[in-house]
């Protein structure tokens, strides 16, 4: 069915990326884990031996972990060399029974060196036997410092660490025994494809002891899920993560992907069969398993000379399939522009990239799309068709991409990677996801990194006009956020060269040089969740009864009924099963947040997109201010506090509460964001933009009382964009807001009508 203009079909709302736009330092670990715990409940499989099956798949025919004689040798070494450690571990576990959390933590720390010695013995036994080693990883007893994050927006993301990260390390100068990682060396999350977590009590393991369908998700599992979240965000081309849980003398293997968690049965790792499994698992993680076996995307490879453990962020060759002939491929340049912090969901990452063979700079987006939803590349094609293949300014233009295939002919999906149909739900809220890529011709930088107010307002103006053109053809974006409004720039491939020892010139590095456009322009990206108010239509020929005098259609009393063919338009429903609705919570319209909180269905509208754009404007002004090196430390501290109070929250309820405070009865922009207004006090254009945007959002949130003690711009706002009690309907407030944004542009130095 079709819907009235401005409306799309109702759907449930979800907001999986709430924490990704936290302000300043990463939001509190405890609050994030509480939210994560709720998400896990419907996504976890307990006591599934299939996890071990997938882990025990041989990486190669000569894998040590599958060689019975090797396992026999290592087990013999552990039971003799590490007998003291095993005895000590059993004693520590026994002594910890009945202890409180603080006492358990102390006992847990006593376990670390004994486990580290066992893990090291496994490695040295195999190395001393002269076995070849294809991969170099180490179970590192991590010190008290947290692991480093490379997040481009939040450098202090993931302020935590597992007890034993499985870390990729440099090969030794000789032999196969890895150098012990210095305890003072701070590991990076990106060099850790897996982890091992320790608890002193078997009752603190990730698997509930009784009926797991009734008992709540265990805190240890939530802790492991948080580590998996950090790994997937820090290694954006990682498709799933293995985590090992040692609880007392029990061991359990977990597998974490974008749709859920699968846990193996627990077993005693020092029983006759358990010790063999433990040895095999450690060998697989540190010695045998290829990156792909450990969950790395098989269509992505490190460029020559690049590793996950080097100080310099690695570069990658990204293909659309594992086919030898890569018709579409890219080389990434630098850190990702964006990498999602969510465990469950799209797992979006955005990269600067060079198209292979053409060396043209492009933006490359990678994400998991719902199997029940049209792909983003198809959505772009439909938008182009709506504009008769002439995309207006302000909308990103795609150049390629699609679903990823491995092997050729088979799409990469979460459920297929699980290998077992019994681990793939056929009904319920969890649906399959397919790996998808989109390359864009347009190149840009984040909207908050504007050069001056003219560039900022020019970019905003372009996007506002683009959004209105989208409305004209029935498109609702549904996910306008700070990450998908970009300032358009020129991007040029800049190779650098060096001369080798033979005197030959060779490529040293590849850079993408960004230069300003002659005009100030922005563009809108990420149409993955865009919807259409008019369903897609196809013109087909359909047989219909030929009418004669005195007969009506459908009256087939004569066996000699005649038919003619008529062209009719057939509408295809846009929504299909499994197509939920999402968005980036920090920028979502307030009525959408309320729908999430109340678990209601709601129809998406242009008005909600416009409200999201308003939040992006204020967010960008704040972020620009706190990143401005010219700002005094005192003002930056106040700006950061004000910024956090506006945008940073770890729950929907918290975000709604903060908005209610910002736009509470009787408050105006001067009260709600005094430090931002102080920062832009000498820039009339930005002040008009900020105040008008705040007023527009206030009308959509709460009521206000009239005030007389206003500054100059506030007084102008009260006259031209009034704020009566009871709020103003969107249809009235929106044109006034747009009018004030135009007035802001006229206030720019040199603009017609400006004072300069």
**Hey, what long-range contacts does 130-135 have (CB within 8 A, 24 or more apart)?**
131/64, 131/70, 131/176, 132/62, 132/176, 133/176, 133/287, 134/59, 134/60, 134/287, 134/288, 134/290, 135/168, 135/286, 135/287, 135/288, 135/289, 135/290, 135/291
In angstroms, rounded to a whole number, what is the distance separating the alpha carbons of residues 295 and 11? 33
The phi and psi torsions of 465 (rounded to 5 degrees) equal -65, -40
Render pLDDT for 60-113 as a digit per residue (tens, 0 to 9): 667 888 889 999 999 999 999 999 999 999 999 999 998 898 999 999 999 999
In angstroms, rounded to a whole number, what is the distance separating the alpha carbons of residues 616 and 672? 16
Q: What average pLDDT does the segment 231-245 reach?
A: 97
Q: Left, alpha or beta for 301 (phi > 0: left; psi -120 to 50: alpha)? A: beta
- Residues 394, 463 contacting (CB under 8 angstroms): yes
Reduce the DSSP state of residue 263 to 3 states and report it.
Answer: strand
Instruction: Name every residue whose Cβ is closer than 8 Å to that of residue 427 and which is 6 or more positions away in sequence.
Output: none
In angstroms, rounded to a whole number, what is the distance separating the alpha carbons of residues 300 and 321? 9
Span of 378-387, 596-605, 746-755 with lowest mean pLDDT: 746-755
Task: Give me 505's structure tokens.
Answer: 């010139």
Render pLDDT for 272-326 as a digit per residue (tens, 0 to 9): 999 999 999 999 999 999 999 999 999 999 999 999 999 999 999 999 998 766 6
Q: Assess whether the previous peptide bond of 384 is cis (omega < 30° from 0).
A: no
Tell how many helices (H) and how many strands (E) occur in the chain: 19, 26
Return the closest-CA partner of residue 299 out of 327, 266, 260.
327
Q: What average pLDDT does the segment 496-500 reach?
A: 87
User: Among the ranges 153-167, 328-342, 555-569, which has the highest mean pLDDT value?
Assistant: 328-342
Q: What is the mean pLDDT of the chain?
A: 84
Return the closest-CA partner of residue 742 out of 450, 458, 392.
458
pLDDT, residue 627, reads 92
Cβ neighbours, 10 Å, residue 58: 14
Name the pTM for this structure: 0.84
User: Among the ranges 64-68, 551-555, 619-623, which has the highest mean pLDDT value?
Assistant: 619-623
Reduce the DSSP state of residue 387 to 3 states and report it.
Answer: coil
In angstroms, rounded to a whole number, what is the distance separating the alpha carbons of residues 151 and 157? 7
Specify the residue for token string 């091992």.
Answer: 196
- One-character DSSP codes across 52-103: HHHHTS-SSTT-GGG-HHHHHHHHHHHHHHTHHHHHHHHHHHHHTTT--HHH
pLDDT, residue 488, reads 95
Span of 254-258, 376-380, 450-454 with lowest mean pLDDT: 376-380
In angstroms, rounded to a whole number, what is the distance separating the alpha carbons of residues 102 and 109? 11
Domain boundaries, the chain: 18-288, 300-532, 628-746
Burial 65-86 (b: 16+ CB within 10 A, else e): bbbeebbebbbebbeeebeebb
Q: What average pLDDT does the segment 405-421 reach?
A: 92
Return the closest-CA partner of residue 455 out of 23, 150, 748, 99.
748
In angstroms, rounded to a whole number, what is the distance separating the alpha carbons of residues 715 and 712? 5
Reduce the DSSP state of residue 618 to 3 states and report it.
Answer: helix
Beta partners for residue 329, in sequence order: 319
Q: Determine how β-strand 164-168 pairs with β-strand 267-268.
A: unpaired
Render pLDDT for 687-741 as a digit per residue (tens, 0 to 9): 999 999 999 999 998 644 444 455 666 666 566 665 544 578 899 999 999 999 9
pLDDT, residue 556, reads 36
In angstroms, rounded to a whole number, what is the distance separating the alpha carbons of residues 376 and 365? 10
Residue 307 CA, chain-centre distance (Å), reads 22
pLDDT, residue 500, reads 83
* Whether residue 459 has pLDDT greater than 60: yes
In angstroms, rounded to a whole number, what is the distance separating the alpha carbons of residues 393 and 378? 20
Is the pLDDT higher at 286 or at 647?
286
* Whether residue 122 has pLDDT greater than 80: yes
Q: What average pLDDT does the segment 548-574 reach?
A: 39
């Amino acid at each position: 069915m079709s819907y009235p203009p401005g409306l799309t079909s109702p759907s449930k709302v979800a907001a999986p990326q709430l924490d990704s736009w936290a302000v300043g330092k990463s939001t509190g670990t405890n609050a994030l884990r509480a939210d994560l715990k709720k998400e896990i409940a419907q996504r976890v499989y307990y006591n599934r031996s299939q996890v071990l099956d997938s882990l025990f798949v041989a990486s190669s025919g000569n894998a040590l972990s599958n060689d019975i004689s090797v396992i026999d040798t290592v087990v013999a070494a552990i039971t003799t060399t590490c007998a003291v450690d095993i005895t000590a571990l059993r004693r520590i576990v026994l002594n910890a029974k009945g202890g409180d959390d603080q006492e358990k933590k102390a006992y847990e720390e006593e376990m670390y060196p004994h486990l580290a010695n066992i893990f090291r013995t496994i490695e040295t036994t195999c190395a001393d036997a002269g076995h070849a080693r294809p991969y170099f990883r180490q179970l590192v007893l991590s010190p008290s410092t947290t692991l480093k994050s490379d997040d481009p927006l939040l450098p202090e993301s993931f302020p935590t660490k597992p007890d034993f990260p499985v870390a990729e390390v440099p090969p030794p100068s000789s032999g196969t025994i890895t150098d012990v990682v210095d305890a003072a060396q701070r590991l990076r999350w990106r060099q850790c494809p897996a982890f091992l977590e320790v608890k002193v009590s078997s009752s603190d393991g990730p698997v509930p002891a009784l009926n797991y369908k009734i008992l709540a998700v265990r805190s240890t599992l939530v802790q492991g899920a948080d580590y998996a979240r950090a790994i997937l965000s820090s290694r954006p081309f990682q498709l799933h993560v293995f985590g090992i849980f040692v609880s007392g003398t029990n061991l359990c293997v977990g597998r974490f992907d974008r749709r859920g968690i699968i846990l193996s049965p627990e077993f005693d790792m020092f029983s006759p069969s358990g010790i063999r499994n433990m040895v095999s698992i450690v060998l697989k993680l540190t010695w045998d398993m290829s990156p792909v076996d450990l969950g790395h995307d098989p269509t992505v490879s490190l460029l020559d000379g690049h590793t996950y453990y080097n100080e310099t962020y690695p570069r990658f060759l990204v293909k659309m399939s594992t086919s030898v002939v890569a018709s579409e491929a890219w080389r990434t340049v630098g850190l990702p522009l964006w990498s999602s912090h969510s465990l469950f969901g799209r797992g979006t990452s955005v990269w600067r990239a060079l198209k292979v063979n053409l060396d043209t700079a492009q933006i490359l987006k990678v994400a998991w799309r719902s199997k029940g939803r049209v792909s983003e590349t198809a959505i772009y094609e439909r938008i182009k068709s709506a504009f008769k293949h002439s995309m207006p300014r302000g909308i990103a233009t795609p150049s390629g991409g699609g679903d990823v295939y491995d092997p050729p002919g088979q799409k990469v999906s979460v459920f297929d990677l699980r290998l077992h149909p019994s681990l793939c739900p056929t009904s319920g809220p969890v649906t399959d996801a397919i790996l998808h890529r989109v390359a864009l011709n347009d190149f840009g930088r984040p909207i908050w990194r504007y050069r001056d107010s003219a560039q900022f307002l020019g970019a905003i103006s372009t996007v506002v006009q683009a959004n209105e053109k989208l409305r004209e053809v029935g498109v609702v974006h549904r996910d306008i956020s700070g990450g998908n409004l970009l300032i358009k720039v020129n991007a040029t491939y800049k190779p650098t060269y060096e001369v080798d020892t033979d005197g030959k010139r060779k490529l040293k590095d590849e850079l993408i040089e960004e230069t300003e456009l002659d005009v100030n322009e922005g563009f809108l990206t990420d149409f993955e969740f865009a919807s259409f108010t008019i369903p897609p239509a196809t013109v087909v020929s359909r047989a219909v009864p030929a009418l004669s005098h005195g007969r009506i259609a459908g009256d087939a009393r004569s066996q000699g009924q005649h038919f003619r063919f008529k062209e009719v338009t057939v509408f295809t429903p846009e929504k299909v099963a499994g197509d939920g609705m999402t968005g980036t919570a920090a920028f979502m319209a307030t009525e959408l947040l309320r729908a999430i909180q109340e678990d209601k269905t709601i129809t998406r509208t242009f008005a909600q997109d416009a409200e999201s754009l308003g939040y992006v404007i204020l967010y960008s002004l704040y972020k620009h201010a706190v990143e401005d090196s010219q700002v005094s430390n005192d003002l930056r501290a106040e700006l950061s506090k004000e910024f956090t109070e506006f945008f940073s929250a770890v729950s929907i309820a918290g975000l709604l509460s903060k908005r209610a405070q910002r736009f509470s009865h009787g408050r105006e922009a001067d009260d709600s964001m005094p430090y931002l207004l102080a920062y832009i006090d000498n820039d009339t254009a930005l002040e008009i933009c900020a105040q008008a945007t705040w007023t527009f959002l206030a009308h959509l949130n709460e009521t206000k009382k009239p005030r007389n003690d206003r500054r100059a711009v506030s007084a102008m706002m009260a006259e031209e964009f009034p704020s009566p009690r009871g709020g103003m309907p969107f249809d009235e407030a929106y044109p006034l807001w747009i009018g004030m944004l135009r007035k802001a542009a006229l206030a720019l130095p040199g603009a017609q009508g400006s004072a300069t």
